[in-house]
Structure 1
Amino acid sequence: MTETQQNLRIRVRGLEKSFGDRHVLRGIDFDSPAGTSTVVLGASGSGKSTLLRSLNALEVPERGSVAIGEVEIDFAGLPAGRAGRKKTGELRAQSGMVFQAHNLFPHRTVVENVVEGPVVAQRRPREEAVADARALLEQVGLGDRGDTYPFELSGGQQQRVGIARALALKPKVVLFDEPTSALDPELVGEVLAVITDLASQGWTTVIVTHEIRFARQVADQVLFLDDGVIVERGTSDEVIGDPQQDRTRRFLSRILDVG
C-alpha cells in the first residue's frame, strides 16, 4: 500500500446498486483523504442516500468496493450467510451514522441513549462509556442535559444527541444523511454548527445535504450526483461557485432560488 493510499480514509470503486429494475448507483468512484469533509449533493432520487448507506453496508451493492481505513469489502465477492454478515459488520464498525430522524429511545435519558452502543455493541465498561458520553454532550452543547429525556429536548437538541451517539462509538468516519431535513428551519443552524465544528477538528465526514451555503463552508470536496452517476466533482468553489455541467447549474439555481 502506497503512502497516498494510506492517507485515504475512504476509498470507493465501481459501486453498482439496483432496486428491482431501477439502477440507482452506476459505477461510483471517489476517495476521501483522512480529515476531510466530502459533501454529496443532488436532487431527490439521484442516489445520494443509497451511496451513503452503501459506505457502511446498510445497503449492499451488487458490485464495487468500499474501504474505510484498512477494512475493505468487495461486494461482488461478498460471501453468503454468517461470513458475509461478519464482513459487513466489520465495515459498519468503522463509521458512525447520523440519520435524518434522530430515533432516540424515549424511555431512556440522554446519557443512556449515548452509551447504548459502546456498552451493548462494543462491550466497553459502563463507567468509561458514561464519562465519554458526558464529554461528548458537552462538546455538542448539551452538557447540562444528560439526565433529561428526549421529549424534554427540541428537535435540534435531539439531533445533536444523535451526533454524540455516533461519536461515542469512536468511529474512523462520520456519515450524515441529510441531518437537518426533519428540523424546523430555526433549529437547522445549531446542528450545522456542530457538524462544522467536527470538520474543523479533523474528523473525516461524508455529508448528504441540501444546505448549499453550509456545503460551501464545510466541504473539502463536493460530489454532485445525478441518476446514480457523479456528474461533477471538485472543491466547493469549483462545483458550487463555478459549476461546469449544465445539470449542476440547474440544480444549484433551483435550490438557491428556493433558499
Structure 2
Amino acid sequence: MSPTDLPTDAATAGAPAPAPLLTVRGLRKSFGTNQVLESIDLTVGRGQVLALIGPSGSGKTTILRCLNGLEVADGGAITIGGEVTIDFGRVPAPSRRDLAALRDRSAMVFQHYNLFPHKTVLENVLEGPVVVQRRPRAEVTAEALALLDRVGLGDKIDAHPFELSGGQQQRVGIVRALALRPQLLLFDEPTSSLDPELVGDVLRLIKELAVEGWTMVIVTHELEFAREVATEVAFVDAGTIVEHGDPKQLLRNPTQERTRQFLHRLLFPF
C-alpha cells in the first residue's frame, strides 16, 4: 500500500523541498454572518504531513471540508497535484464537477467514522471506488481485502459497524479512504472519539502511512503525535493561521503569544 507518487531523495536533508502537492491561497468561508475562514494560505509538499492544531471552532475542520469539496468556499483557490485548480472567487461559481475533481484527488477520514450502518465492512470500503469511481469490482475487492488484512480486520469483512469497536471502525474508515487511491489524505481528529486504550492502534497506522510517503493534512490535539509525524504544524485560531513551522520548534517554542496560551492550556488543563 503506497501513494501514487512517493517522495524521492529530494526530501532528505540539504536537498530542495519536494514539489507542492497541495496549494491553498486566500481561502475564505462564512456561514451566514459567521466568518469561519479568513484568507487561509497553505502549501503541502508531496509526501509531507501537515498537522493543524487549534481550539475547537477555529476553522480546522472547515479547511478539510473545503479541501475535499464537501464545503463550497466563498473565495480563494485550491490546487491539488498541480492538475486541478478550483477558483472559488470566479463567476460562475465552481460546479459540482469541479468539486468532484477535488474529491477524486483527496479522501477524508472522519472524526465519527461516518460508515454506512446497514453495509458490511467490505461493502463500506467498496462503495466509493465501485459506485463513484466506477472501477471494476473484482479489482477493488482484491485491493480492499489486502488493505483490511493489513490493518488486522481481514476476519471482519462481513461484520457491520455496530459489531466493531471504535478503533476498528476508524481503521475501516482509513481503509475506505485508501481504497479511493487519493493523492491527498485528510484526517479530522481521527482519535478524538476513541477510548484512550484504542488510540494507539490508529496513531500507529497513520504513522506507517507517513513513513510510506502519503501526503496528509491532519487535524489533531495529539501534540506528541504531531511532533513525531508531521513535517509542519500550523496553529489555527479564529479562522486564521496564526503561525506555522517545524513541529519540534513550534510546539516547544512558539513565536506568538496566542499559540503559547493554547499549548499551555492543552498541556496543563487543570
Answer yes or no: same fold by TM over 0.5: yes
1:14 lines up with 2:26 in the alignment: yes
- Name the structure 1 match of 2:67: 55
- Name the structure 2 match of 1:72: 85
- Cα drift, residue 59 of structure 1: 1.3
Gap change, CA 1:138 and 1:240, over 3 Å in 2: same
What count of residue pairs does the alignment treat as equivalent?
Answer: 254
Greater Cα shift, 163-172 or 4-13: 4-13
Gap change, CA 1:52 and 1:114, over 3 Å in 2: same
Q: Could you tell me how far apart the structure 2 residues matched to 1:103 and 1:151 are?
A: 12
- Cα drift, residue 226 of structure 1: 1.0
Q: Is the 8 A contact 1:65 1:74 kept in 2?
A: yes
1:215 lines up with 2:254 in the alignment: no
Identity score, percent: 58
Q: Could you tell me how far apart the structure 2 residues matched to 1:79 and 1:193 are?
A: 44
- Name the structure 2 match of 1:202: 213
Q: Please, which runs of 5 or more residues in structure 1 have no aligned partner?
A: none
- Cα drift, residue 238 of structure 1: 1.6
Partner of 1:180: helix, strand, or coil? coil
Q: Could you tell me how far apart the structure 2 residues matched to 1:6 and 1:217 are?
A: 19
- Cα drift, residue 139 of structure 1: 2.6
Q: Is the 8 A contact 1:49 1:208 kept in 2?
A: yes
Deviations 1:17-67 (A, max 9, x none): 111121111111110000000000000111111111111221111110001
Q: Could you tell me how far apart the structure 1 residues matched to 2:150 and 2:185 are?
A: 15
Name the amino acid aligned to 1:88.
L
Q: Could you tell me how far apart the structure 2 residues matched to 1:236 and 1:143 are?
A: 35
Q: Could you tell me how far apart the structure 2 residues matched to 1:5 and 1:238 are?
A: 18
What TM-score comes out, normalization by structure 2 length? Answer: 0.90
- Cα drift, residue 213 of structure 1: 1.1
Deviations 1:43-100 (A, max 9, x none): 01111111111112211111100011111100011535xx711111111211010011
- Cα drift, residue 107 of structure 1: 2.7
Q: Could you tell me how far apart the structure 2 residues matched to 1:16 and 1:45 are?
A: 15
- Cα drift, residue 142 of structure 1: 1.8
1:93 lines up with 2:104 in the alignment: yes
- Name the structure 1 match of 2:197: 186
Greater Cα shift, 25-34 or 137-146: 137-146
1:42 lines up with 2:54 in the alignment: yes
- Cα drift, residue 104 of structure 1: 1.7
4+ aligned runs moved over 4 Å, structure 1: none
Name the amino acid aligned to 2:240.
V
- Name the structure 2 match of 1:115: 126
- Name the structure 2 match of 1:143: 154
Gap change, CA 1:238 and 1:214, over 3 Å in 2: same
Q: Could you tell me how far apart the structure 1 residues matched to 2:231 and 2:250 are?
A: 11
Q: Please, which runs of 5 or more residues in structure 2 have no aligned partner?
A: 1-15
Q: Could you tell me how far apart the structure 2 residues matched to 1:139 and 1:9 are?
A: 26
Name the amino acid aligned to 1:228.
G
Name the amino acid aligned to 1:114.
V
Deviations 1:158-212 (A, max 9, x none): 1000000011010001000111111112211111111111111100000001111
Q: Is the 8 A contact 1:78 1:84 kept in 2?
A: no
